[in-house]
Amino acid sequence: MEKTDAAIIKLENVTKSFGEGEKKIVVLDDFNAEMERGKITCIIGGSGSGKSTVLRHLIGAYQPDSGKIWIDGENIVGMNVKEMNAVRKKFGILFQTGALFNSMTVEENVALPLKEHTKVPIETIRIMVAIKLEMVGLRGSGHLKPAQLSGGMLKRIALARAIALDPKIVFYDEPSAGLDPISIGVIDKLMKDLSSKMGITSVVVTHELPSALRIADKIIMLFKGKIIFSGTPEEIKTSDDERVRQFVNGLPDGPIPFSKTQKDYGEELKEMSYY
């Protein structure tokens, strides 16, 4: 098996397109990026710039057309299910929706990965779950059902589940989506603590620039499947790239289009059955 000792996560010349012929779109175009061990890397960029696509490649949900994807020393491109499952144990994922099971209690939700992937006895699992709930500030809520919790609490429970197996890496897909500023602050602090106290490597896809500025060791900004900025929060604030400045200043007009029109709008309306 191919090995590398460089950054814990590395995308090398990754190209990915969707569709065929005229409809073909190249989403990642000879894409290269590195994420450092124990650090927080935030991926930002306009809608449709390819952020989620990068994340989906990292978790093995998408295969690239070409290129290599290194996770902790292994190239995951072309791995079979068994090999990929072994790599998956190294990372936790916080999905945008939280993806908790409504029929289960909080404790059962957080215990799920431990029951599925380990042979740890149930009494020990209960202790491990309590530790994870304590880490996200929600010990004592194990008996509740997801419907009884607020959006911010659900995210924290989902985070407790994502770290249940003590992963080296946690991938976050829009962790702040739909949360109020205080809950965003709580999640930011948790992500920061997991990185600084536990040494967890974090990759965070986010729309929230203030959040990225607060927590990131490195920010990567995507534009049309390429990296147009890679650097620290301080550096992005002073970037003189027009596209970066538009994003940082939240301006609707600029090189980054407000909407992505793929064909003539009139034509599109005509194709709709109700028109």
Ligand X SMILES: Nc1ncnc2c1ncn2[C@@H]1O[C@H](COP(=O)(O)OP(=O)(O)OP(=O)(O)O)[C@@H](O)[C@H]1O
Q: 150: how many CB neighbours lie within 10 A of its CB? A: 11
Is 236 in a helix, a strand, or coil? Answer: helix
Q: According to the binding rule CB under 6 A, does residue 18 interact with ligand X?
A: yes
Q: Alpha-carbon torsion 110, 201, 40, 172, what sign?
A: negative
**96 interacts with Mg ion by CB under 5 A:** no
Residue 259 CB, nearest approach to ligand X (Å)? 11
Q: Which of the listed partners (ligand X, Mg ion, none) does 206 bind, with a CB threshold of 5 to 8 Å by partner kind?
A: none
- Asked whether position 178 contacts ligand X by CB under 6 A, the answer is no
The number of angstroms, rounded, from the C-alpha of 244 to the middle of its chain's C-alpha atoms is 21
Residues numbered 21-40 forming contacts with ligand X, rule: CB under 6 A? 25, 27
- Residue 125 phi, psi (nearest 5): -60, -40
Which residues, other chains included, contact 79 with Cβ-Cβ below 8 Å and sequence gap of 6+?
60, 87
Site residues for ligand X, 53-82, by CB under 6 A, read 53
CA distance linking residue 43 with residue 270, whole number of Å: 37
Q: How many chain residues bind ligand X (CB under 6 A)?
A: 11
**Residue from 49, 141, 183, 201 in contact with ligand X (CB under 6 A):** 49
Q: Which stretch binds ligand X (CB under 6 A): 48-56, 84-92, 109-117, 234-242?
A: 48-56
- Is 52 near Mg ion (CB under 5 A)? yes
- Chain centroid offset of residue 23 CA: 27
Contacts with ligand X, residue ranges (CB under 6 A): 18, 25, 27, 45, 47-53
